[in-house]
Structure 1
Amino acid sequence: MITLHETITVERTRSEAFRYISDFRTTTEWDATAIRAEKTTPGAVDKGTEFVVHCRLPLGSVAIRYTVAALEPDHYIELHGSASLFDIVDRITFDDSGSGTHIDYVAEITPKGAMRMAESALVPGMQRMGRNSLQGMQRALEDDFPAPTTSDSSRRADNLVLPGLAMFSRWGYRRGRKHWNPVSADLRDQHMVITGANSGIGLAAARQLAERGAQLTLVVRNPEKAAATVESLIFETGNHSIAAEIADLSLMHEVDQLVDRLVTAGRPIDVLVNNAGALFNPRRETSEGLEASFALLLLSPYRLSRGLQPLLAASGGGRIVNVVSGGMYSQPLEVHKLIAREKNYSGSVAYARAKRALMVVTEQWAEDWADDNIVVNAMHPGWADTPGVESALPGFHRLTRRILRSPDEGADTIVWLAAATEAGAVSGKLFLDREPRTTHLRDNTRETPEEREKLRAFLEDFRLENAAG
C-alpha cells in the first residue's frame, strides 16, 4: 500500500473549504491528473454519494469510482475509490486554524494487478502527485485570481472572422477550459434570479448554481413547468432554497407585475441572469401589440433590470448577466429597425438586432450603475444544442449538431460570471468561455455614438403605443 499525507492551511472558513472539497467534481480544478468528474447520484453530498473521476496516467487514463463512506459536515469526509489498477481511500479532515482552516489529506492506495509489481517504483511519483494536488487545492481555496483578460490567441481569432466563429463550437469550449481558474466562491448566501430557467442553458445554469448553494428565484412562464423544474432541481441538487415566479416576459404588464412583487418582498438580489429568449418565425405580435422578438429579447430585460436595480444595489455588489448571441455579430445597431415589420421579416435577423441592442445596453448600464457597485456583463454561449435551437433553426441544427456544445457547456460562462470572484472585477464586457471578447467581428457593424444615445432615449421613453405598425 502507498500512503500519501499532505497538509495545507487556507484563509477560508471550515464550512466553505469543506463544501468545495467534499463535492469531488471539483477535483478537475485542483488535481492536475483529473480530466473529468461527475456525481452519479442525486441530492446533496452525503454518505453514499457516488462520483466518477477520470484521471490522466502516463499511459492513457483511468476511471475511479468513488463512494462517500463517512461524512461529518464541515469536519471530515472519507471516500473509497476503485479503479482497474488500484483501490484508494481518501480521508480529508478540516480543522480551525487561526483565521482559516487546516486541511489534512491522507490517501491510501492499494495497487492491483500489474501495478502491484511496480509498487515501490511508483512511490516517488505518487507522492509528488499528492503534493501537487494539495498545492492545487490551496490555490483554488485562496481564490486570488487576476481580473479576466483576452488571450493573445483569442484576440487573433477575433480579428479573423472564420476562426472567431469556430470558437462558438464545442472545440472552442474545450480549448478555453484548459486555461480556466478554479471557482471556489461560496454562494450559500447569494440570491440569484434567472429568467428562462426551465430548459436549455437557463436550466443548466440554474442546476449548476443550485449545486453551488445559491438561493434561486426562477422566472418561468408556465406554472406546471415551473413547479416541475423546482421539484427536479431540489431532487437533483439537494438545495431546497429554490422557488419560482410565474411571468410571461414577452408581456410588459407581467414584467412590471414581477418587478412589483420582487421589490415589495424587498429581498436583495446578488445576481440577475437575463436569459429568457426565443426566435420567432413567422413574425408574431404579443397581446399588447408588440413585435415578439423586440418585446422578449430587448424590452423585457431592459424593464426587468431597471425595475430590479434597487434590489441589485441593496446587495452591495450586484451582478447582471445578459445572455446575447453570436448572431449579433451580423447586425449593426439600427434603432429604427428594432421593431421588425412584416415586410421582409426574418426571425434570425430580428433576434440578432435585439441582441446587438442588448449588448449596447450592457455597456451603458455598466457605466451608469458603477457607483451602485453593480457589475453588468454580457455573454454568449456559443453554439449550444438546446431545444430552442433545434426547433427554431432546424437546418442549422442538422448541419452543426456534431460540433454543438451541450447545454452545460453553453451555460458555463453564465455560472462563472455569477459565481467567480474575479468576474466581479470587470464590467461592460462581452464574454465567451470566461474571456472578454470583441463585440464586433466586422467594422461595418460598429454603431456611432449618436446611435447609441438614440437607443438609450428610445428605451427610456418607450410606450406600448409606440409599437403600432
Structure 2
Amino acid sequence: MIVLHEKIDVPRPVHEAFAYVQDFCTTTEWDATAITATRLTPGPIAVGTRFEVVCDMPVGSVTLCYTITRLEPDKVLELHGTCRLFEVTDVIHFSETASGTHIDYRASFELKVPLGPAHGPVKRGMQRMGRKSVEGLRLALEDDFPVPEISPANARADHWVLPGLALFSRLGYKKGRKHWYPMSAWMGDKHVVITGASSGLGLATATALAERGATLTLVLRNPDKAKKLLDQLRRDTGNHNISIELADLSLMAEVEALVKRLQAKARPIDVLINNAGALFNSRTETAEGIEKSFALLLLSPYRLTEGLRPLLAAAPRARVINVVSGGMYSQPLAIDKLVAKESDYSGSVAYARAKRGLMVLTEQWADDWAADGIVVNAMHPGWADTPGVESALPGFHKLTRRILRSPEEGADTIIWLAVATEAGKVSGKLFLDREPRTTHLLGKTADRPEERKRLQPFLDSFPAPAG
C-alpha cells in the first residue's frame, strides 16, 4: 500500500471548502494529475455519486472511476476509486478553525500489479504528486489570483487578425485552458438571471451555475420548453432554487412586464447574463413594428438591464455579462444602420451591428455604473456548435463543424465572468477564453465618438409600449 497524507489550512468557511471539494469534477482545477473529470450520476451529490477522472500519473495515464462512499456535510468526504492498475480510497476531513478551514487529506493506494524494484521510485513519485495536488487545492481555496490580462501571444494574434480569428475555434479554447486558474468562489448565496437558457450557451451556463448552487431565474419564451428545462435542471443538478420567467424578449411590452415582475419580487440580482439572441436571415418586424434583429439583440438587453439597475445596485458588487459575437469585428457602430431597411438587410450584418452596439453599451455602463459597484463586461464565445448556428448559418456550420467548440466550451467564459473572484476586479472589457481582448481587429471599425454619444439617446427614442 502507498499512502499519501497532507494537511492544509485555508481562509474559507468550512461549508464553502466542503462544497467545492465534494464535486470531484473540480479536481481538474487543483490536481495537477487530473486531465478530465465528469460526474456520471445526476442529482444532488450524495453517497453513491460517481465520477470519472482521467489522470496522468507516475504509473501512466489512467481512468479512475470514483464513488462517494461517505459524506458528512462540512465534516468528512470519502471516495473509493478504481482503475486497471490500482484501487484508491480518499478520505478528506474538514474542521473549522479560527481563520477558516483545516483540511486533512489521506489517499491510500492498493496496487493491482507488483512493482518490484520500481516500488520505491513510484512511491516517492506519487507522494510528490500528492503534495503538489493538495498545494493546488490550497491555492484554489485561497482564491487570490491576479487581475486578468491579455497574454503577449494573444495580443500578437489579435494584431495580425487571422491568427486571432483562428483562436475562435476549439484550438483557442484548448490553448487557453492550460493557463486558467481555479474557480472556487461560493455561489450558494448568489441570484443569477439568465436570458435565453433553453439551449446552447444559455443551457450550458445555467447547468454549470446550478451545479455550483446559485439561485437561478431563467428567462424563456416557450412555456412547454420552460417546464421541461426546469424539470431537467432540477433533476440533473439537484438544485431546486431555479425559477422560470416567461417573456418574448423581442417585444418591449414583455420586457417591461418582466422588469416589473422582478422589481416586485425585490430580490437583488448578483449576476445578469444577457444571452438571448437569434440570427434572422429574413427581415421581419415584431408585432410592435420594430425590426426583429435590432429589437431582440440590442433594444431588449438595453431596456432589461436599465430596468434592473436598482436590483443590481442592491447586490454587493453585482455583475452584468453581455454575450456578444466575434461577428461584431466586421462592423463599426453606425446608429443610422442599426435598424436595417428591407432593401439592404442581411441577417448576419444586422446581428453583427447589434452586437457592436451591445459592446459599446458594455463600456458605457461600466463607466456610468461604477459608483453603484456594478461590474459590466462582455464576452464572445468563439465559434461554438449551437442549435442557433446550425440553423441560421448552415453553410458556415458545415464548413467549420470539425473545429467548432462545444456549447460548454463556448459558455466557459460566461461562467468564469459570473463566478471567478478575479473577474469581478475589471469592468468594461471584452473577454474570450478568460482573457480581455481587443474590441476592434480592424481599424475601419473603430468607433467614432459622436456615434457613441448618440447610442443611448437613440435607444431611448423608441417609445415605451402602451399600457
Partner of 2:378: 378
Partner of 1:36: 36
Q: Deviations over 1:8-45 (max 9, x none)?
A: 00011110000001110000111111011000010111
Partner of 1:298: 298
CA distance in 2, matches of 1:336, 1:234: 45
Partner of 2:105: 105
CA displacement at 1:224 relative to structure 2: 1.1
Superposition pairs of residues 138-217 of structure 1, within 5 angstroms: 138-217=138-217
CA distance in 2, matches of 1:201, 1:117: 51
CA displacement at 1:117 relative to structure 2: 6.5
C-alpha spacing 1:445/1:60, structure 2 compared with 1 (3 Å) = farther
CA distance in 1, matches of 2:26, 2:238: 17
Partner of 1:439: 439
CA displacement at 1:317 relative to structure 2: 1.1
CA distance in 1, matches of 2:114, 2:298: 61
Amino acid at match of 1:5: H
CA distance in 1, matches of 2:59, 2:430: 40
CA displacement at 1:121 relative to structure 2: 2.7
Secondary structure (helix, strand or coil) at the match of 2:182 reads coil
Contact 1:290 1:464 in 2 (8 A): no
CA distance in 2, matches of 1:464, 1:215: 30
Contact 2:36 2:54 in 1 (8 A): yes
Partner of 1:51: 51
TM-align CA RMSD:
1.1
Superposition pairs of residues 49-448 of structure 1, within 5 angstroms: 49-58=49-58, 60-113=60-113, 115=115, 118-448=118-448
Aligned residues: 465
CA displacement at 1:114 relative to structure 2: 5.2
Q: Deviations over 1:130-176 (max 9, x none)?
A: 11111000000000011111100010000011100011100100100
Amino acid at match of 2:220: V
CA displacement at 1:389 relative to structure 2: 0.4
Provide the identity percentage: 65
CA distance in 2, matches of 1:58, 1:334: 58
Amino acid at match of 1:352: A
CA distance in 1, matches of 2:212, 2:300: 28
Amino acid at match of 2:382: G
CA displacement at 1:115 relative to structure 2: 4.4
CA distance in 2, matches of 1:149, 1:282: 39
CA distance in 2, matches of 1:81, 1:177: 26
CA displacement at 1:51 relative to structure 2: 0.2
After TM superposition, the score normalised by the length of structure 1 is 0.98
CA displacement at 1:241 relative to structure 2: 0.3
Secondary structure (helix, strand or coil) at the match of 1:124 reads helix
Contact 1:332 1:444 in 2 (8 A): yes
Deviating beyond 4 angstroms after TM superposition, the runs of 4 or more aligned structure 1 residues are 114-117
After TM superposition, the score normalised by the length of structure 2 is 0.98
CA distance in 1, matches of 2:3, 2:143: 29
Amino acid at match of 1:180: W
Is 1:454 the counterpart of 2:462? The answer is: no
CA displacement at 1:99 relative to structure 2: 2.1
CA displacement at 1:388 relative to structure 2: 0.4
Contact 1:86 1:115 in 2 (8 A): no
C-alpha spacing 1:124/1:356, structure 2 compared with 1 (3 Å) = same
Contact 2:58 2:122 in 1 (8 A): no
Q: Deviations over 1:380-430 (max 9, x none)?
A: 001000000000000000000000000000110000000111100000000
Contact 2:230 2:243 in 1 (8 A): yes
Contact 2:58 2:126 in 1 (8 A): no
Secondary structure (helix, strand or coil) at the match of 1:52 reads strand
CA distance in 1, matches of 2:351, 2:117: 62
**Unaligned regions of 5+ residues in structure 2, if any?**
none
CA displacement at 1:460 relative to structure 2: 2.5
